[in-house]
Amino acid sequence: MLYTIPDYYKQFSCTADECEDTCCAGWQIAIDRRSLIRYGRTAGKFRRQLHRGINWLKGTFRQSEDKRCAFLNEDNLCDMYTALGRDSLCRTCRLYPRHIEEFEDVREITLSVSCPEVARILLGKEEPVTFLNYERNGEEEYEEFDPFLYSKLVDGREVMIKILQDRTLDIELRVGLVLGIAHDMQVRIRKGEIFSCDEVFERYQKETARQFVNMRLRESRKNIKQRYAFARQMFRNLYRLELLREDWWIRLQETEHVLYETGYDKYDTIHHEFAKWIGEYMPQWKVQCEQLLVYFLYTYFCGAVYDGRAYAKVQMSVISVFLIYEMLVARWMKNEGMLDFEDVVEIVYRYSREVEHSDQNLEMMEKMMEEQLIPWFRAVFR
Ligand code: SF4
């Protein structure tokens, strides 16, 4: 079995009681069957507390009114971990913030930016991310797995990441090229012509493709009304998702109020001012933007082997970073023209918690991306 991990994987270490937003509160933790059976058989002093802390019917940990896990104590430490050790944790708690995508004989492990510490590591990283491979014994049989499609998706992802990490190109051009590749791959997947994807990879790495995409981006940039309508529509999609934390809606409403309720002229002015500000005072955003795009693309793109939705996955990656950017603009306005690294970390991990930690939301996002396909040559970033 081949395992892949990002190069910053080993840098992560849970900050436990020092974490500003513990992952043991705010969402329901489902206990896997094996752990549930183990908990039922646990004897000793901790048994009583253990049994009371579990909702046996639902197979979840009980929560307090403010949605804290029943085992999370006042010092923000886990009582179960303290009493029974790390191995006692259920699969979700043991793995988090690791995210595993499973393919026939490959396991791709990433770290979710829904953990503030991971977001801090990723956003603070200047060098382009690389992915490391290692092998371990053990294989599983997967039915209905198309190894040819998977291998083309892996090739496509490699080319797209190479383009995203080419810092000699403007970020918007990189995004345009990547959307173009995914769009053309999608056409071939639909027609069952995946072997011709190699032509697509080659074409989008040529100067002529860059010139063409740049020309289309310039045209698209001029239409302010369309840009505003597009941004508003993408943002409003977030209201259609399952709500995981109550205060998320308040944040959405704040952003909506600041950015979209005063019309397209004002929206455009705010964005111009912000783009100038961020270019001068937070130039590292360009690198952070790249790291986030690579993160989303790497995590989700090859999942298209199961549902064929390659373009929707790339669009979701791009739109996610775009929406994070929109929320940064609104936060900058709220802070009266100021923003710092911790603001970026917070917006990124909160977005990720709401969108990435609900299968329903991920599915919904992809469906909405399919319904509202953005033309690949549309200017998304400034
Ligand atoms: S969110 Fe991350 S740093 Fe915080 S407690 Fe959970 S794993 Fe640890």
Q: List, edge to edge, every strand of the sheet that includes 98-103.
A: 98-103, 106-111, 2-6, 131-135
Atom number in ligand 1 closest to CA 114: 1
- Could you state, in order of their start, the residue ranges of all structural domains in the chain? 24-95, 147-371
Q: Is the CB of 29 under 6 A from ligand 1?
A: no
> What local confidence, expressed as pLDDT, does residue 145 receive?
77
Please state whether 155 falls in left (phi above 0), alpha (psi between -120 and 50) or beta: alpha
According to DSSP, residue 169 is labeled S
Q: Using N-to-C axis directions, what is the helix angle for 171-191 and 207-222, rounded to 10°?
A: 110
User: 77 in ligand 1 pocket by Cβ < 6 Å?
Assistant: no
Separation of alpha carbons 251 and 331, rounded Å: 10
Mean pLDDT per 10-residue interval, the chain, length 382 residues: 94 94 91 94 94 95 93 95 94 94 92 97 97 82 77 97 97 95 96 94 97 90 86 94 91 94 92 96 96 98 95 96 96 96 97 94 94 71 65
Pure H helices in the chain: 33-41, 47-52, 79-84, 91-95, 116-123, 147-164, 171-191, 197-203, 207-222, 224-236, 246-260, 264-281, 285-300, 304-307, 310-334, 341-356, 359-371
Which ligand 1 atom is the nearest neighbour of the CA of 117? 3
For 131, the 3-state DSSP assignment is strand
DSSP letter string, 59-74: TEE-B-TT-BBTTB-T
Residues across the chain: 382
Look at residue 136 in the predicted model and tell me its pLDDT: 83
Atom of ligand 1 nearest to the CA of 15: 3
- 19 pocket-lining for ligand 1 (C-beta < 6 Å): yes
For ligand 1, whether the C-beta of 88 sits within 6 Å is no
- The helix/strand/coil state of 4 is strand
Q: What is the pLDDT, as a whole number, of residue 178?
A: 96
Cα 115 to ligand 1 centroid, rounded to whole Å:
5
CB of 113 closer than 6 angstroms to any ligand 1 atom: no
Assess whether the C-beta atom of 26 lies below 6 angstroms from ligand 1.
no
Atom number in ligand 1 closest to CA 19: 4
Q: Tell which atom from ligand 1 comes closest to the C-alpha of 118.
A: 2
How far, in Å, CA of 79 to CA of 376, rounded?
A: 50
CA–centroid distance, 346 to ligand 1, in Å, is 13
CB of 352 shorter than 6 A to ligand 1 = no
Residue 379 · residue 185 · CB < 8 Å: no
Phi then psi for residue 206, to 5 deg, are: -100, 155
